[in-house]
Amino acid sequence: MRHVHLKGILFMLAFAAGIGMGVKQAGAASAHEIDLKARMTLEHLYSKSPSAKALGDKAVGILVFPSVVKGGFIVGGQYGEGALLKNGKTAGYYNTVQLSYGLQAGGQKYGYVLFFMNESAMSWLDKTDGFELGMGPSIVVVDVGAAGAMTTTTGHSQIYAFFIDQKGLMAGLGLQGTKVTKIDK
């Protein structure tokens, strides 16, 4: 019995170390790397979703997180870095962080893009020491496959979120409780 308990503890420590290494790698990008990956991610999204392209044409700002690493075993977390694009140019760099606990196990990597449709929504990014998603303007999460029925005239949200390139095994994706904070690069 003691042997099984020790194996469980060792497994949890190894898993946590793996998550930590993934977070460190995700956070090691230079400004140039983030810019390049953000633009490639946005172009990839536009190629899969004409609705995303239409939103991008009307958005005041687009926050792109090309790679977010998420993992956990009882206690979990996620981390990624991205770029805010305004008028086709990088206007700042941000990270996305989330901590969670509960019945969870696994790991995954994905990206997400936030389309800010007006200045009021944009102002939430820098209002406080980090913008907690789900605690400000309304956010509509759009499924890339189902976005064909949405147009910029039928959509009336302040912020739209698209998840892209999900890989790994971990149940569920959500933005509730995710903190987005401006960083220096």
Identity (one letter) of the amino acid at 35? Answer: D
* pLDDT given for residue 170 in this prediction: 56
Bridge partners for 79 per DSSP = 69, 97
Q: Could you tell me which residues come within 8 angstroms of residue 137 by beta carbon, excluding any fewer than 6 positions away?
A: 120, 121, 124, 157, 158, 159
The per-residue pLDDT for 175 is 55
Domain ranges, ordered by start, for the chain: 2-183
Q: For the chain (length 185 residues), average pLDDT per consecutive 10?
A: 44 46 55 96 94 94 93 80 95 88 74 92 76 60 51 61 77 63 87
Residue 155 class from Cβ within 10 Å (0-12 exposed, 13-18 middle, 19+ buried)?
Answer: middle
- Residue listed under structure tokens 């308990």: 5
State the pLDDT at residue 10.
Answer: 40
Long-range contacts (CB closer than 8 Å, 24 or more residues apart) made by 130-137: 130/179, 130/180, 130/181, 130/182, 131/179, 131/180, 131/181, 132/177, 132/178, 132/179, 132/180, 133/175, 133/176, 133/177, 133/178, 133/179, 133/180, 134/175, 134/176, 134/177, 134/178
